[in-house]
Structure 1
Amino acid sequence: MAVEGRYSMKLGKLIKDFELEVLRGVEHYEDVLIQREDVNRPGLQLVGFFDYFDAKRLQVLGKVENTYLAQVPSEDRRRIFDALLAYEVPALIITRGLDPFPELMEMADKHDRTILRTQETTTAFMGALIAGLRNELAPRITRHGVLVEVYGEGVLLLGESGVGKSETAIELVKRGHRLVADDAVEIKRVGVNRLVGSAPELIRHYIELRGIGVVDVQQLFGMSAVREDQDIDLVVSLEQWNDETMYDRLGLEELYTVILDVKVPSLTVPVKPGRNLAIIVEVAAMNNRHKKMGYNAAQAFTQQINEHFEQALSGQL
């Protein structure tokens, strides 16, 4: 869900996903929007330091904060929670199933704030929470193409309509690979250099084949033929063969496609009758895995040729 140029997540979904207990909720707390993927443990804020404090983040109180607060007088706790909850925080979450301080609930009533609780340890909960928020709030775009998983590699097929993207995908599915999305691919940047693609829910598992129509891949080929999402490791652009175009014969040049500021290895495959695109995509996926593991066949071949000529030259001298 987009709000003011940002993506957001409803607090109600967060509560459901992480099975959080609602100790106190504001009116319509389920509709409160979370727009920050970072989470804050208010250590410095408990001692009154609020410079650079981001009140839009979820606040988490763990065992360390709880132990500190248990050692201060009740009146000081009341003052601490009064200062913290004066900010319009989306929610405050208590971990480890700890009992909330009476002063916390008193100030939550005063400022009308939502208090939640989880039984998870603080570190485990925060790790899962931040990962979940990053996935939900990640920058995203939709690209026209087909996403398939081939030998564990996410291959994004791009090209003009009618070039054969869907036909290639269905052939790959028949060969034991899996379809992620056809026609529209929703792409999220969930890490510094990580892109994850999925299908819009409305068209998930469906594929359009010209002359046949729309088919349900999951029903036709079984559950093993589809998956919900997949990292994008390689972009393959399909284009009609052009005799006047010089195509890369060795593969020495490293080409990339930039999606959401992430560079993804890419290659262009010319299409003409007689070419088995499914096999080409399979080889491209395996070759991409080899490159990530440190082996580049084109470089090895070139080095071998150079060594051969050097030896031949030395023999002549």
Structure 2
Amino acid sequence: MRTITVQELADQFSLEVLAGFHHMQRKIGKSRAYRPGLEFVGYFDFFPQEHVQVLGKKEITYLHKLDLDERKQRIGNIVKYHPPCFIVTANQEGLKYLTKYCEQEEIPLLRTGATTTEFLGRLDAYLTKTLAPQIAIHGVCLNVSGIGILLRGKSGVGKSETAHTLIRRGHRLVADDIVVLKKLSPQTLLGTHDEKTKELLALRSIGLINVSRLYGRKAFQEETRIVLDIELTKWQENALNNELELEPSFTEYMDVKIPHIEIQLQPGRDVAGLIEAAANSWYLRQQGYSAAEEFMKRLKMD
């Protein structure tokens, strides 16, 4: 299971540390934050104690209104579960009592100026991506007309050269050689780079090029949702399918199914153009359109 430290979270969101300075290396392994509510009145049957705890104005206002003894009991009931950290939103003040209990239990207490709704949205998005299960595979990742494509094939088949042609046509590189795949949900696969190869494309006989420097910032993007898995293979006579509509094929990555297409290579074949066609065809299918169905309707009308 992937984890990050409270210190990494604090650095990412520029959080102010109010307590627990010496315990910032505590681990966070859950991808969603939690706002304790029922727990303050003693109901803990479903308390996600391993999650980051966010305290907004409702929670802090409630605590402020309690008398000293009751406040001690309510806070004590939660801190004894030792969640990774507490984060107070909207720069709320009057937190000496909360600071005291967090120090006693060695739990970091952090604060942000952002509103609760804004901060929770950003925090959950960050944790989901950062803590998502991931694998690294050999290939090229591109965004073609807004469609995330994973381009695979044996070494030397021409993946990077094809990617270069697509970039020159206005599409975007995400990763070359090493593609990091992150599983955000049972249906969502995110493709990104491994930082070391960011913006770099390796071309045989040329070497490394920086696509952002060569073709401008629009030639690169950090990540994309993968919706097509395209494999480049060597040409085989009589192996191409000419059916009106091929049976769907899929590749699985971490149990996420991605539509798979094989494109055979031959001198003079516009592989980049075929990839553009595949991306646009996929988009039209999502809108409910099928060229094969339209053709069959036309035949029936004759």
Deviation at 1:122, TM superposition (A): 1.6
Within a 5 Å distance, the mapping from 1:1-317 to structure 2 comes to 6-29=1-24, 31-305=25-299, 307-308=300-301
3-state SS of 1:200 partner: coil
SS at match of 1:147: strand
Seen in structure 2, the aligned counterparts of structure 1 residues 28 and 101 have a Cα distance that, compared at 3 Å, is: closer
1:102 positional shift: 3.3
Alpha-carbon distance between aligned partners in 1 of 2:21 and 2:107, rounded to the nearest angstrom: 6
Q: Shift in Å at residue 133 of structure 1? A: 0.6
Partner SS, residue 40 of structure 1: coil
Partner SS state of residue 185, structure 2: coil
1:252–1:299 CA contact under 8 A, matched in 2: no
Q: Distance in 2 between matches of 1:240 and 1:25?
A: 59
Tell me, in whole angstroms, the C-alpha distance in 2 between the residues paired with 1:198 and 1:23. 35
- Contact 1:252/1:298, CA 8 A, preserved across alignment: no
Distance 2:97 2:218 in 1: 54
The residue identity in structure 2 corresponding to 1:170 is H
Q: How far apart are 1:115 and its partner, in Å?
A: 0.8
Contact 2:186/2:255 (CA < 8 Å) preserved in 1?
Answer: no
Q: Distance in 2 between matches of 1:92 and 1:280?
A: 51
Q: Deviation of residue 71 (structure 1)?
A: 2.8
Asked if structure 2 preserves the Cα contact closer than 8 Å seen for 1:78 and 1:104, the reply is no
Deviation at 1:121, TM superposition (A): 1.9
Amino acid at match of 2:38: L
Distance 1:252 1:304 in 2: 19
* Residue identity in the other structure for 1:44: L
Matched residue SS, 1:128 = helix
**Partner SS for 1:202:** coil
Q: TM-score, normalised by structure 2?
A: 0.93
Residue identity (%) = 38
In 2: Cα distance, 1:207 partner to 1:44 partner = 52
Q: Secondary structure of 1:135's partner?
A: helix
Contact 2:23/2:108, CA 8 A, preserved across alignment:
no
Distance in 2, Cα, partners of 1:73 & 1:210: 72
CA shift at 1:246, angstroms? 4.8
Shift of 1:20: 1.5
For residue 236 of structure 1, report the CA deviation from its aligned partner.
Answer: 1.1
State the alpha-carbon separation in 1 of the partners of residues 61 and 210 from structure 2: 56
CA contact (8 A) 1:179 1:227 kept: yes
Unpaired stretches in structure 1, ≥5 consecutive residues: 1-5, 312-317
- The CA deviation string for residues 149-190 of structure 1, in whole angstroms up to 9 with x for no partner, is 111111111111121111111111121211111111111122
Aligned-pair distance for 1:100? 4.1
Aligned-pair CA distance for 1:250:
2.1
**Aligned 8 A contact 1:154 1:232 in 2:** yes
Question: What secondary structure sits across from 1:204 in the alignment?
Answer: coil
TM-score (norm 1): 0.89
Relative to structure 1, is the Cα distance of residues 214 and 105 closer, same or farther in structure 2, using a 3 angstrom cutoff? closer
Distance in 2 (CA, whole Å) between partners of 1:64 and 1:151 is 44
Contact 1:37 1:130 survives alignment (8 Å): yes
Q: Which has the larger radius of gyration?
A: 1
Distance 1:82 1:129 in 2: 25
Code of the residue aligned with 2:256 in structure 1: it is V
CA contact (8 A) 1:197 1:231 kept: yes
Equivalence for 1:314: none
TM superposition shift of 1:58: 0.8
How far did 1:134 drift? 0.3
Other structure's SS at 1:231 match: strand
Contact 1:156/1:236 (<8 A) preserved = yes
